[in-house]
Structure 1
């Protein structure tokens, strides 16, 4: 067997080479191999490119992560600073809130004290106005007082005073609908008549104070006639003849005249008291008695006496039976508000 191999190898070397015709399968195999090699090379290049790109992305991501870490660190530091500032602001806000609460407490105390003082003053003013309204019947003064009180309460602007202002408004409307009795005007007229009583002339004194007429001589008479006429004129001035329908008045002495005048004054003073008490029957009775005295004992022809009689007749027509409101609603509301303010916690 070893001997045959050298011969065969020699024969092969000595043999004439034959022309090899490429086969399609071989070509396809070579093409496949080349394609595989190309694909492998492409894949290798692609893998290298991908690795390079990945390395770049990783490097970029690392840088980005470092930047994010740095930014996160800075954000954390900033957040810590903000938290610290917020803590400071909260402390300041808490301190400001405590101060505001203290100020509110002080304001409430001051406002409460001012409200109590104003309510006490309003209660006193209402009591005085109610008393004057019942005594003098002066509705205008009472209305002025209530309006001033309402303005004062409006300036306080306290919610607990709403009921008080509503009661004041109700009493104001009631006063506006009440008929007006001019007590002060009637009293002034009575005082004027009282002051004039001493100067009114009595019937027995009528003509005593008349000014004497002046004698005028007649130029046609001679001196003796003029002298006689002048003497006769003077005698007529000394003697006056009057007619008195009531002979008893002639016997009225000066002392009786004084007591008559004082009696009339007492009648007028009683009428003034009856006016304040709203006693209409006593008021008219005293005025009628005064009018009767003036017509009976005084000279009605004198202007002062005639004027006094006319005033007395006008006053007798004045109605006094007017029911005055007592302002009880406002007083009750003020006292209730004052009690509530005193019981409120400071």
Structure 2
């Protein structure tokens, strides 16, 4: 490619006229220089334009690239804004939830504080109510069982609890508890379990007790035959005639002794006791057992009057039909008397003073 200077020289040489004169050549030289300058200027303008065009293209490309980058960044910014908006909404929801939970926690805390204060205020009332309920239940159990043991244990437990609690306003209740405890301990109540065991022992002994009729029938005669050994005394040294004489002399005595053995005289306080037949003896023992069992059931049912009546009938039968000289009959009679003396109706004490003190403490007095 020819350069710009060669092109300009060629154009100038082709355009210049032949030198005819000095003036003409001078004008031609000026014209040539003007053309050269114009060509240089035009070429410079063309170069500047081309350079400017190249720069514009570069700038256009840069602008396009930047526009694309800005559009990408705008899209990314929109995505980030959307994400931020979603996060803001979620954060707002979480804040609202946290506010609700904080409000709920504050409400629960207020309720718990109120409950604690209520428990602190009602602690004395709860202790008083528990002791009162325990005493009333123990009183019912004592009335059912006929024993003071449930009431005694309830009073002791209440005293121990109040001693551990150590509240000055309940000292009046403790003093009332001590007085009621002494009063309950002083009351002697019959032990029904031991009484029923004694009656069971008596029922077992009935079959072993000797009857008066059977004892009298087994007793030996009051006198032994006398003179029966007279013939034998001299049997060794006497003759047959002497034996015969001795037997003849002794037979009236032996006959008299045999007749005396058929009849026996004795002093009996209850004559009907000797007239019992063997089958009547069996029914007598069974009737005595039934009397004792009825007395046992009456004691367990707290029917002391019925029990006393059955025990009196059993004692009368024992004294009338059984041998009073027998050791077993004496033991049975002693057991009957002990049971009859202990089977008494005893009014159970009520802890009224303690209940009144508890009511006063619950009322705040």
TM-score normalized by the length of structure 1:
0.45
Larger Rg: 2
TM-score normalized by the length of structure 2:
0.43
Higher relative contact order (CA 8 A, sep 6+): 1
